[in-house]
Amino acid sequence: MQTTSFSQYNIPSIAWVSPPPTTTILHHKITSSGRLSRVLAVASLTATPSRHQVTHSMPPEKLEIFKNLESWVSESILPLRKPVQNCWQPIEFLPDPSQGPDEFEQEVRDLRQRVLGLSDEYFVLLVGNMLTEDALPTYQTVFNTFDGVRDETGSSPCPWAIWTRSWSAEENRHGDLLRTYLYLSGRVDMLMIEKTLQYSIGAGADIGAENNPYMGFVYTSFQERATFLTHGNMAKLAKEGGDPVLARICGTIAADEKRHEKAYTRIIEKLLEVDPNTTMLAIGNMMKKRIRMPLHLMYDGQDPNIFEHFSAISERQGVYTSRDYAEMLDFFITRWELEKLEGLTSEARRAQDFVCGLPCKVRKLENRAKKLESRPVKFSWIFNKQVGV
């Protein structure tokens, strides 16, 4: 099989309209091979070794907008939560140890039999998805850096904070379920997976949101849709591989992600209504930076390029691809009616033109991309077996 590598591409910048924000320099590792998976390259469009890490870029006067939206959040966002009594729980999909040792052991044997038809590549992707879900402390930390919507006390009654805690509580089940299923499968090296998780939570995440809720909610809209698509495609592969239970697990998680996507998409819709210029600039800024998987700093203690290798397999297996990224752009441009926005400032119009032209650019880059042959890479998560990237 072949995959695609992109060289660097320069994308027009979006003008900054507020006072110069505080910046630091954040250094990113470069792959030793210099290769990027197609989805990484297309999603980023540029591959920069370092960049300014901007903080607190939202002008202080914008805080009042989010304060005024609290009642709207209560009416339009909080109802998207599911009551705990109506939520599924991981044990419902797993062998139940309370039914006795013989029955429990048989259910574990059945689980192990079902996963025999799934490839090593599939398990690499399942581990990567589990780690992404399980790094929840990082995401809660990032959310609580957003000015105007953070949880100031840890149990704040502010509707923005209530949503964040509820979202985290629902998301927490995803990693718990996938990790336990992987553990029982016997197909993966749990020691290396647990080390990867510890390394990765320690590394944190740089989503480029600048403590700015406008940009943060753009990011979460895209990220929730990406995880919805990813888990949905994993469900299809599990079903084809002969594990209907795992297919149901991935499909159930995908449904949660879709509901969460709806919340964040609705927030951006509202921000476009009340503050179209700032919101359009935020969308343009995030598209210029690129939407990256939150666990892009993952590390297993052995492979410094493990995220790039994981992403290449995702592209090859059709789980999350450059085509998905282009289609997501089309989806949000249509959903937010970005092409129809009128009365924008000149800077916001430039951002509008940039974002609305991105899907075409992404597809052109994909078509021009140089094809590369697969090469074997060892993954510690599957006992250092080799898979093609």
Instruction: Kindly give, in sequence order, each residue whose CB lies less than 8 Å from that of residue 20, ignoring residues fewer than 6 positions away.
Output: none
Residue 256 is among the residues annotated as catalytic for this protein: yes
Told to judge if 56 belongs to the known catalytic residues of this protein, a careful annotator would answer no
Q: Which of 31, 55, 70, 88 is catalytic?
A: 88
CA distance 199 to 26: 18
Of residues 147, 151, 189, 256, which has the active-site annotation?
256
Considering 164, 227, 230, 279, which one is annotated as catalytic? 227
Joined together, the tokens standing for residue 43 give 């999603």
Which residue's structure tokens are 């009416």? 75
227 tagged catalytic: yes
115: which 2 tokens? 């996963």
Gap between the Cα atoms of 104 and 96, Å rounded? 6
Angle between helices 190-203 and 159-185 in degrees, nearest 10? 160
Place of tokens 């990113």: 28
| Residue 103 annotated as catalytic | no
Sort strands 385-388 and 50-55 into parallel, antiparallel or unpaired: unpaired
**Is-catalytic flag, 72?**
no
* Backbone angles phi and psi of 147, in degrees to 5: -65, 135
Neighbours of 161 (CB within 10 A): 21
Instruction: Give the contacts of 11 (CB within 8 A, at least 6 positions apart).
Output: 45, 46, 288, 354, 361
Gap between the Cα atoms of 328 and 203, Å rounded: 28
- Residues 313 and 121: their CA atoms lie apart, in Å, by 7
Catalytic residue among 120, 171, 324, 366: 171
* Residue of 120, 133, 147, 308 marked active site: 133
Beta-sheet strands, E only, within the chain: 2-5, 22-27, 50-55, 370-373, 376-379, 385-388
The angle formed by the CA atoms of residues 355, 145 and 44, to the nearest 5 degrees, is 30
Q: Cα(189)–Cα(124) distance, rounded to whole angstroms?
A: 11
The single residue of 260, 261, 265, 321 carrying the catalytic annotation is 260
The SS3 assignment for 13 reads coil
- Single-letter residue type at 122: Y
Strand 376-379 relative to strand 370-373: parallel, antiparallel, unpaired?
unpaired
Instruction: Report helix angle 306-317 to 120-134, nearest 10.
Output: 120
Please indicate whether residue 278 is annotated as part of the active site: no
- Asked whether 322 and 43 are in contact (CB, 8 A), the reply is yes
Determine which one of 121, 147, 170, 224 is catalytic: 224
Catalytic residue, chosen from 174, 231, 296, 309, is 174
Query: Does residue 257 have an active-site annotation?
Result: yes
Mark whether 28 is an active-site residue: no
Q: Nearest Cα to 260, choosing from 131, 357, 133, 383?
A: 133
Please give the positions annotated as active site.
88, 133, 171, 174, 224, 227, 256-257, 260
